[in-house]
Amino acid sequence: MKSEDRSGEVKIGLECHAQLLTRSKLFCPCSTDYQNSEPNTHVCPTCLGLPGALPVVNEQAIKYGVKVALALGCEVQPVTTFYRKNYFYPDLPRGFQITQYDFPIALNGLVKIENKKVRIRRVHLEEDPGRLVYKGTIETAKYSLVDYNRSGIPLVEIVTEPDLRSPKEARVFLGKLRSVLGYLGVFDSDLEGALRVDANVSVAGGERAEVKNISSYKGVERALSFEITRQRNLLRRGLGVVQETRHYDEARGITVSMRTKEFEHDYRYFPEPDLVPIRISGLVAGLRAEIPELPDEKKKRFVSQYSVTQEHANSLTFDKSVADFYEEVVSKMPKTEAVAGSSAAVAGSSAAWVATWVADVLKGELNYRGISMREASKLISAGDFVTVLKLLKEGVVTERGATEILREMLDRGGKPKEIVKKKGLASLGSAETEKAVFEVLGEEQNAGAVADYKLGKKEALNFLVGQVLKKTRGRAEPKKINELLKLELQKK
Residue 339's pLDDT is what? Answer: 44
Between 350 and 326, the higher pLDDT residue: 326
CA distances from 181 to 152, 295, 319 (A): 20, 10, 10
pLDDT digits over 294-315, tens only?
999 999 999 999 999 999 999 9
CB atoms within 10 A of CB 331: 10
Q: Which domains does the chain have, with CATH numbers?
A: 10-290 (no CATH), 295-423 (no CATH), 430-491 (1.10.10.410)
Please give the Cα distance from 164 to 222 (Å, whole number): 15
The DSSP code for 280 is -
Q: What percent of the chain has pLDDT over 70?
A: 84
Please give the Cα distance from 82 to 269 (Å, whole number): 10
pLDDT over 80 at 483, yes or no? no
Binning pLDDT at 50, 70 and 90, where does residue 423 land?
confident
Residue 438's pLDDT is what? Answer: 62
Instruction: Tell me, rounded to whole angstroms, the distance of Cα 68 from its chain centroid.
Output: 17
Considering the entire predicted model, what is its pTM?
Answer: 0.84
CA distances from 102 to 270, 271, 277 (A): 9, 9, 12
pLDDT digits over 465-479, tens only?
677 667 666 666 666
Candidate from 120-134, 146-160, 203-217, 280-294 with smallest mean pLDDT: 203-217
Binning pLDDT at 50, 70 and 90, where does residue 157 land?
very high
pLDDT digits over 171-215, tens only?
999 999 999 999 999 999 888 778 999 999 999 988 899 998 888
H/E element holding 84? Answer: strand 82-86
Please give the Cα distance from 153 to 28 (Å, whole number): 9
Residue 77's pLDDT is what? Answer: 97
pLDDT digits over 42-74, tens only?
999 999 999 999 999 999 999 999 999 999 999
419-424 long-range contacts (CB < 8 A, ≥24 apart) are: 420/391, 420/396, 424/473, 424/475
Residue 86's pLDDT is what? Answer: 94
Binning pLDDT at 50, 70 and 90, where does residue 347 land?
very low
pLDDT over 70 at 433, yes or no? no
Buried (b) or exposed (e) across 60-70, using 16+ Cβ within 10 A?
A: bbbbbbbbbbb
Measured in residues, the chain has a length of 492
pLDDT over 50 at 341, yes or no? no
Asked whether 27 and 53 are in contact (CB, 8 A), the reply is no
pLDDT digits over 438-468, tens only?
666 767 776 777 676 667 767 776 787 677 6
Residue 393's pLDDT is what? Answer: 87
